[in-house]
């Protein structure tokens, strides 16, 4: 319970806790739409591709947020453009675009090597969250959650049955780009906590865990947000108590929860599945 | 009687290949119309182009005597079953409830009234006992009935169904065709892409016989004849006799 006492005493730890919980919730919510739309790779791509944006912002002396958002969107548009205007399949165009952006980012950051620490951006360090970062995360979080709540119905139908959505006149492609924007925002908010490389785990793993446990999208979103936040707390605890990399610990926490669901989920879990199969065999 | 659908000199191509060539027809309201033709004849394509889901090269489509944009919400479309993610976390009643979305407008959620209506539509297709099941747990015929219920929930004037009878059980097929005929009796218009020739005469009022170009359009008795069918299918007549085409 030393951790709780530390929390009371140290402002940086409070900021870290608040920010990482927020990130866990955001990634959990957006992650549900990402995995159901089959865009897990896209999440990976955008998170890597914000790197040059961070570097350029730094060179220009502006908040890294702006550069990152611009680069994230360019990536989403670039990927869509290549796969729609050539025979190159979408997973390949994702690979082409994001690795190019990432490579560019690495060069820019090492050239502008003064103050940004590449490792910190790549792997995150939640304990170094500043007050301004915390506010940024809070504002991004409020915007993202508000949009998801307001347009839940539209997100649901364009994810499940885009053809019907298009047939009754919804701007399906526009909504796709709105989700890309939200994804970029969430990624940027997660930079400090889990870092560029591991954001994808926060997006995909809690959502996939929730997917194994429920047959309702709304429940899935709540569960996913809960698992995201829980992993963030667990991760922060181990990271601060044992001086471990926060991103890595948080990701391993999400993975552990996923493994539990994978084995024990009442409907999808491999354990019950095995038991059911045995019963079936016995009854024959 | 008004016009439900007027297609005028429609041309559609996929990747530079023309798949619909200069098709024109005009359907009155209250008809149950089958779209038939061999594989690759452009049956689904013409449906999608009519609905604005894929771009057309040339030609004009008017629905209920208006341009498509003005009447989108009066159309219900049931796509082919294999185009959906059946593992999606959604149950039967929530799927039917999607049918109320077009009339709800942005940012509004369905309330008790819409839910009650969705349940009634589900009852009409005889699936009310399955309302809490995940859609992937249903049989093909049950899935098709749920999607018909969703179309009913849209309170549409025009119904477009793409191959609704593929891979489903006999009793579902009977239920579905009964409901479709019922809709037509109420003055709605129903278009069905269909590839099985055996029951064409029992099911439809009119036929659109298609093979990239329009081979013929008219009442079933007029279109469903050996010469016209064989012209479209380029098949020999003995095969057609087996499936019951009158000579």
Which chain B residues contact residue A217 at CB under 8 A? 88-90
In sequence order, what DSSP letters do the residues of A3-16 get, joined into one string? HHHHHHH-HHHHHH
B132 vs B236, higher pLDDT:
B132
From chain A, the residues in CB contact with B79 under 8 A are 161, 163-164
Residue B235 lies in a domain: yes
CB B216 within 8 A of CB B57: no
Touching check for A151 and chain B: CB below 8 Å? yes
pLDDT tens digits, A39-77 = 888 888 888 888 898 888 888 888 888 888 899 888 888
pLDDT band at residue B38, thresholds of 50, 70 and 90? Answer: confident
Q: Calculate the alpha carbon distances from A100 to A48, A75, A122, A191, A200 in Å.
A: 10, 10, 16, 19, 18
Residues of chain B with Cβ-Cβ distance to A163 below 8 Å are: 53, 77, 79, 83
Residue B60 is assigned to a structural domain of this protein? yes
Asked whether residue B119 is assigned to any structural domain, the reply reads yes
Round the CA-based radius of gyration of chain B to a whole number and report it: 18
Quick one: pLDDT at residue A116? 67
Instruction: Decide if B160 is inside a domain.
Output: yes
What is the residue range of A31's domain?
2-283
Q: Read off the pLDDT of residues B144-154 as tens digits, 9 standing for 90 and up.
A: 999 999 999 99
Q: Could you give the CA distance from residue B90 to residue A114 in angstroms, rounded to a whole number?
A: 51
pLDDT in the model for residue A128: 80
- pLDDT by residue for chain A (284 residues), tens digit each? 677 888 778 888 888 899 999 999 999 999 999 999 988 888 888 888 888 988 888 888 888 888 888 998 888 888 888 877 888 888 888 889 889 998 998 888 887 766 667 777 788 888 888 888 889 899 999 999 999 999 999 999 999 999 999 999 999 989 998 998 899 899 888 887 888 888 889 999 999 999 999 999 999 999 999 999 999 999 889 888 888 888 889 999 999 999 999 999 887 788 888 888 888 777 76
- A275 against B136, higher pLDDT: B136
Query: Cβ A166–B83 below 8 Å, yes or no?
Result: no
What lies within 8 Å, CB to CB, of A137 at 6+ separation is A19, A22, A23, A189, A192
pLDDT band at residue B247, thresholds of 50, 70 and 90?
very low
Q: What pLDDT does A222 receive?
A: 97
Tell me the average pLDDT across B124-128: 93
Is residue B151 assigned to a domain? Answer: yes
ipTM beyond 0.85? yes
In the numeric block, which tokens belong to residue B148? 């018909």
Q: How many domains are contained in chain B?
A: 1
Q: How far A151 CA sits from the closest chain B CA (Å)?
A: 6
Contact at CB, B108 and A153, closer than 8 angstroms: yes
User: Among B156, B120, B161, which residue's Cα sits nearest to residue B144?
Assistant: B161
The enclosing domain of B134 has a CATH number of 3.40.50.300
**A150, A167, A217 member nearest B75 (Cβ):** A167
Does any domain span residue B247?
no
**Does B139 fall in a domain?**
yes
Instruction: Write out the two tokens for B26.
Output: 């005009």
Domain of A239, CATH number, reads: 1.10.3470.10
Give the per-residue pLDDT at A61: 83
Who wins on pLDDT, B165 or B197?
A: B165
The domain in which residue B195 lies consists of 3-242
Model confidence pLDDT, tens digit, residues B174-231: 999 999 999 999 999 999 999 888 888 889 999 999 988 898 898 988 888 877 787 7
Q: Which residue, among B47, B38, B41, B51, has the nearest Cα to B19 in the 3D structure? A: B41
B157 pLDDT exceeds 60?
Answer: yes
Q: Kindly determine whether residue A211 and residue B94, on different chains, have CB atoms separated by under 8 Å.
A: no
Provide the number of structural domains found in chain A: 1
């Amino acid at each position: 319970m030393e951790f709780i006492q530390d929390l009371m005493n140290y402002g940086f730890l409070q900021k870290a806790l608040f920010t990482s919980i927020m990130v866990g919730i955001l990634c959990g919510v957006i992650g549900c739409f990402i995995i159901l739309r089959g865009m897990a790779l896209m999440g990976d791509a955008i998170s890597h591709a914000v790197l040059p944006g961070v570097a350029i912002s730094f060179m220009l002396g502006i908040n890294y947020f702006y550069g990152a958002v611009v680069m994230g969107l360019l990536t989403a548009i670039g990927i869509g453009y290549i796969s729609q205007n050539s025979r190159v399949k979408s997973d390949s165009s994702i690979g082409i675009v994001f690795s190019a952006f990432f490579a560019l980012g690495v060069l820019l950051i090492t050239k502008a090597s003064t103050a940004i620490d590449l490792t910190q951006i790549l792997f995150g360090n939640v304990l170094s969250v500043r007050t301004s970062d915390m506010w940024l995360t809070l504002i991004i979080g409020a915007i993202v959650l508000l949009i998801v709540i307001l347009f839940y119905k539209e997100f649901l139908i364009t994810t499940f049955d885009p053809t019907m959505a298009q047939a009754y006149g919804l701007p399906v492609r526009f909504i796709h780009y709105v989700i890309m924007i939200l994804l970029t925002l969430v990624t940027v908010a997660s930079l400090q906590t889990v870092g560029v490389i591991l954001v994808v785990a926060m997006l995909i793993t809690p959502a996939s865990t929730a997917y194994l446990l429920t047959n309702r999208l709304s429940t899935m979103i709540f569960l996913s947000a809960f698992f995201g936040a829980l992993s963030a707390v667990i991760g922060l605890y181990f990271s601060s108590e044992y001086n471990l990399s926060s991103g890595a610990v948080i990701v391993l926490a999400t993975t552990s929860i996923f493994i539990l669901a994978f084995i024990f989920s009442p409907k999808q879990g491999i354990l019950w599945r095995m038991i059911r199969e045995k019963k079936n065999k016995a009854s024959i | 009687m008004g016009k439900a659908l007027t297609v005028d000199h429609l041309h559609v191509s996929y990747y530079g290949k023309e798949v619909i060539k200069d098709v024109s027809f005009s359907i009155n309201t209250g008809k149950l119309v089958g779209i038939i033709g061999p594989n690759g004849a452009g049956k689904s394509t013409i449906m999608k182009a009519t609905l604005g889901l894929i771009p057309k090269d040339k030609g004009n489509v008017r629905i209920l005597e208006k341009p498509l944009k003005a009447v989108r919400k009066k159309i219900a479309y049931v796509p082919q079953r294999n185009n959906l993610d059946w593992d999606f976390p959604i149950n039967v009643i929530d799927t039917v409830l999607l049918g109320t979305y077009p009339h709800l407008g942005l940012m509004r959620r369905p309330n008790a009234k819409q839910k009650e209506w969705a349940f009634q539509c589900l009852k009409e297709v005889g699936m009310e006992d399955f309302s809490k099941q995940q859609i992937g747990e249903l049989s093909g015929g049950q899935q098709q009935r749920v999607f018909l219920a969703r179309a009913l929930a849209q309170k549409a004037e025009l119904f477009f169904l793409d191959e609704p009878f593929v891979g489903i059980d006999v009793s579902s097929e009977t239920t579905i065709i009964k409901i479709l005929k019922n809709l037509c009796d109420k003055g709605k218009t129903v278009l069905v892409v269909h590839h099985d020739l055996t029951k064409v005469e029992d099911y439809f009022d009119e036929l659109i016989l298609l093979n990239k170009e329009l081979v013929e359009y008219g009442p079933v008795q007029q279109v469903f004849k050996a010469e016209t069918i064989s012209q479209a299918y380029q098949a020999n007549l003995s095969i057609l006799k087996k499936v019951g085409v009158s000579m």
